[in-house]
């Protein structure tokens, strides 16, 4: 595998590993500075649309993204050329960050509207719904408070605590950073499936062969499912993955018009 590594793949691999080591051991503040934040967060900077894709949350996060790049990238680089592979990686990475930010803005606006509605007209049932929708941010003790508040809906102390709790959730939700090259990698995956759809890949888990087009179809459907389910305890940016698939698919669609598929 590593003997056939191509120049752009090699350079991307080196850059990601070096920045992971630098941000992890020498300058940990880079992880917070270069991560991508919600656009209305006080920590947001426009350059984060680029830098977030070179930061990773841990070794296994980095390893899985770089493994995908090393497995699928070299053949794509040989077929598309170094320039187009780099364009694919960067455009999918930046583009998925932009789409994810738009999605995050929509979710935050929706949450802010619900919180504002509760604070204008406090109601235990509305508070309970917001707690359930954001249950990943609470421990079980919050449900004792919900029960207590439901029994005492006019208690100003409990109304104030509920309002402060929702303000805290807004603050937490608005300042969760996103990192990783997964959006760029999903662009690589869709490109591979479109250009080499019938190439047989051998999975490790489960140990079985599968064609590239079916593997990417599975990833795509799994990603869409997770976006729709929107599990509050899931810390994976599934919408960024979906953004990488969409942008990569559009790019390759236009590049592919004058080329033949490899099988």
pLDDT at 233: 60
> Domain 2-104+180-258 belongs to what architecture?
Up-down Bundle (1.20)
Classified as helix, coil or strand, 237 is coil
> What local confidence, expressed as pLDDT, does residue 223 receive?
81
- Residue intervals of the chain classified under CATH 1.20.1540.10 are 2-104+180-258
Side-chain half-sphere exposure of 40, counting CA atoms within 13 A: 14
Query: From the centroid of its chain, how far is CA 44?
Result: 16
Give the position of tokens 């070179």. 54
Q: Are 115 and 167 contacting, i.e. CB atoms less than 8 angstroms apart?
A: yes
Q: What is the pLDDT of residue 263?
A: 42
pLDDT of residue 140: 78
Cα separation of 214 and 61, whole Å? Answer: 24
pTM attached to this predicted model: 0.87
Angle of helix 238-255 relative to helix 212-229, nearest 10 degrees, comes to 140
Cβ distance 123 to 113 under 8 Å? no
181 contacts 65 by C-beta, under 8 angstroms: yes
Of 191, 178, 196, nearest in space to 240 by CA: 178
Q: What is the token pair recorded at 53?
A: 């894709």
pLDDT tens for residues 55-92? 998 999 999 899 999 989 999 999 999 999 999 999 99
Low-confidence ranges of the chain (pLDDT < 70): 1-3, 203-205, 230-235, 258-263
Query: Which pLDDT does position 259 carry in this prediction?
Result: 60
Radius of gyration of the chain (CA): 22
């Amino acid at each position: 595998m590593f003997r056939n590594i191509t120049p752009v793949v090699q350079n991307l691999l080196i850059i990601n590993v070096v920045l992971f080591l630098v941000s992890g051991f020498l300058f940990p503040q880079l992880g917070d500075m270069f991560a991508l934040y919600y656009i209305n967060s006080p920590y947001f900077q426009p350059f984060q649309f680029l830098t977030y894709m070179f930061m990773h949350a841990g070794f296994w996060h980095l390893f899985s993204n770089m493994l995908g790049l090393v497995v699928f990238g070299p053949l794509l680089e040989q077929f598309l050329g170094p320039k187009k592979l780099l364009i694919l990686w960067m455009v999918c990475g930046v583009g998925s960050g932009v789409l994810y930010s738009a999605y995050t803005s929509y979710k935050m606006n929706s949450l802010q509207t619900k919180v504002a509605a509760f604070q204008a007209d406090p109601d235990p049932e509305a508070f309970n719904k917001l707690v359930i929708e954001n249950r990943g941010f609470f421990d079980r003790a919050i449900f004792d408070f919900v029960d207590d508040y439901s029994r005492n809906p006019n208690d100003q102390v409990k109304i104030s605590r509920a309002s402060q709790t929702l303000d805290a959730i807004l603050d937490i939700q608005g300042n969760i950073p996103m990192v990783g090259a997964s959006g760029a990698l999903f662009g690589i995956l869709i490109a591979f499936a479109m250009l080499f759809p019938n190439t047989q890949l051998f999975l490790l888990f489960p140990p079985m062969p599968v064609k590239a087009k079916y593997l990417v179809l599975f990833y795509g459907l799994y990603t869409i499912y997770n976006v729709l389910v929107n599990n509050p305890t899931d810390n994976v940016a599934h919408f960024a993955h979906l953004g990488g698939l969409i942008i990569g698919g559009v790019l390759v669609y236009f590049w592919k018009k004058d080329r033949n598929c490899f099988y």
